[in-house]
Amino acid sequence: MADDPHAIFEEWLAEARLSEPNDPTAMALATADADGRPSCRMVLMKGHDERGFVFYTNMDSRKGGDLAANPQVALLFHWKSLRRQVRVEGWVEPVSGAEADAYFATRARDSQLGAWASDQSRPLEARATFEARYEEMRRRFEGGDVPRPPRWSGWRVVPERIELWNDRAHRLHERRIFIRLAKGGWSEGLLYP
C-alpha cells in the first residue's frame, strides 16, 4: 500500500514550522484565466487535512476571477531551510460559509477591517484612498464584531497529484509522486530528478 502523502506533508510542515524564518505555510498558487494564461502569487495555507489545502482571499480578486473561469490550480511550497518542495495539482472547491466565518473570526481585528477596506486587485489611485477606506470601516464597525465581507471566503485545493521533493547529495534528489486513485487512496512512484 502507498504511503499517505497528507501524513508526510504534515510531518514536513511540522519541521518547517521549527526551521523557517517566517511564513512556513506560505505557498505559491498558480491559476490560469479563461484563455489559459497563467499567473502565480503567494497565499497562506490556513487549513490542511485529507480533503485538501485551504486558503482565503477576495473572490473578486484577479485570482478569484481565474478560479471562477477555471478551477484547475497548482500549489508550490518551498521550504528553503529544509531544502524541500511540495508540488500539488488539482482543482478548487469553495469552503462552506460556516468554515469561512469560523476562520474570519480568528483573524486580528485590523486584518478583518483590511479585508473590508481592500478592493483586492483593483487599481488604487493613491495609498491615502485605501487608508481612508480603512478608517471608514473602523468607524462603521466600532463597538461590535466585524462580520466576514460577503465576497471574502476560502477555497480548498483538492489534490490529484502531490509530489514530495527532497534534496539529496550530488543533485541526486528524491522525487516521490502520489496520484489519487478513483477508488480512493493513492498510487505512489518515483521520478528521475
Ligand X SMILES: Cc1cc2nc3c(=O)[nH]c(=O)nc-3n(C[C@H](O)[C@H](O)[C@H](O)COP(=O)(O)O)c2cc1C
Please report, as ranges, the residues that interact with ligand X according to CB under 6 A.
23, 26, 39, 41-44, 55-57, 61-63, 120-121
| 8 A C-beta contact, residue 70 and residue 33 | yes
Could you tell me whether strands 174-180 and 84-94 are parallel, antiparallel, or unpaired per DSSP bridges?
unpaired
Q: Break the chain down into helix, strand, coil percent, rounded to 5.
A: 30, 35, 35
Residues 6+ away with beta carbon under 8 Å from 71: 91, 92, 93
Q: Known catalytic residue: 171?
A: yes
All three cell numbers of 96? 462552506
| Closest separation in Å from C-beta 108 to ligand X | 14
- DSSP class of 83: T
Of 39 and 96, CB closest to ligand X = 39
The residues facing 74 across adjacent strands are 30, 89
SS3 157: strand
DSSP three-state, residue 78? strand
**Exactly one of 171, 175, 176, 180 is catalytic; which is it?**
171
Which residues are the active-site residues? 171
